[in-house]
Amino acid sequence: MGKKMNNELNNKQIYSEFANKLLSKRELHACNSSLKRESIELLNELIDFLFPHFSSKIYYSAKDVIAKLQLLERNVISLLKIVSDNPDTEIEKSANKFISKIPVVHDMLWADGEAIYQGDPAAESIDEVILAYPGFMAILIYRLAHELYKLDVSIIPRILTEHAHQITGIDIHPGADIDSPFFIDHGTGIVIGETTKIGRNVKIYQGVTLGALSVEKSLSHVKRHPTIQDDVIIYSQAVILGGETIIGKNSVIGGNAWITQSIPPNSIVYSKSEVKVRSNEQYFDAMEFVI
């Protein structure tokens, strides 16, 4: 009986300490519970506006489009107020700058879609690319998040790109600087780090990592990720690391390559491996089956 009472007393003490710790953390890290939901709702509203493929809304005149832009600006202001302590005038200025970039982002995305369509023999139309290609969706969300990132908006850009990561399997940090057109083929498992810089007409396949050589916190404001110049193709599972690593224009990086140094323009880089093919009727030594 005594042991049982001691256990109950110990549990009460543990629970009490846990409760106080939990309450402290909840107070210190309180966040508007609707932030993630409202961020994704705004994202979907922007996607519906930019591409009729995702919306039943019909715009009949330029006046309708301008009215929608004004509504979007008001919605952006409401969202930014959740994460910003800036005066309303500063928040409104940021929202206006973001909305003013929408025409440029729209043109870049159509160029991205066209590049994917022209570069993939399996694509039957640009509409198929927009509707069905995860690479295009990841680029779409990245470009919107990137504009918010450049305005020093807190948290929301990462919410958007992590949403893209969840639905496409492609992880692009909103801080990456990616020119247009940009082509992601297949895409699953691609990782593009925060300080990556990518030029025009770059094509990347599944599993590619553009990462950092070191993940020390002290390097948070240093260029840690590679620069990929124009017209580069990077095949599946290649890993390119380091802020001083530059892949020269018009180069081809083969699958499974591991690169931590700069590559001159017009280069071909590949990882050499040996593949043996034998008949299954041949005798195999027992050692070949050791696991």
- Three state DSSP letters for 85-104: CCCHHHHHHHHHHHHHCHHH
Residue pair 222/204 in contact (Cβ under 8 Å)? The answer is no
Query: Is 24 within the bounds of a domain?
Result: no
Q: Does any domain span residue 167?
A: yes
Same domain, 158 and 43: yes
| Phi and psi, residue 66, nearest 5° | -65, -40
- Asked if 221 contacts 195 with a C-beta cutoff of 8 angstroms, the reply is no
The range of the structural domain enclosing residue 73 comes to: 32-174
Q: How much is the pLDDT for 217?
A: 76
Say how many C-beta atoms besides its own lie within 10 A of residue 262's C-beta: 14
Q: Is residue 15 part of a domain?
A: no
Structure tokens at 212: 């950092």
- CATH no. for residue 62? 1.10.3130.10
The CATH number linked to 199 is 2.160.10.10
Do 100 and 199 lie in a common domain?
no
Among the residue ranges 49-63, 130-144, 191-205, 249-263, the one predicted with the least confidence is 49-63
Band of residue 2 on the pLDDT scale cut at 50, 70, 90: low
Q: pLDDT category, 280, cuts 50, 70, 90?
A: low
Integer-rounded Cα Rg, in Å, for the chain is 25
* 46-60, 114-128, 195-209, 252-266: least confident range: 46-60
- The reply to whether omega before 157 is within 30° of 0 (cis) is no
Top pLDDT among 91 and 15 is at 91
Going from the C-alpha of 206 to that of each of 55, 166, 214, 232, the distances in angstroms are: 29, 15, 23, 15
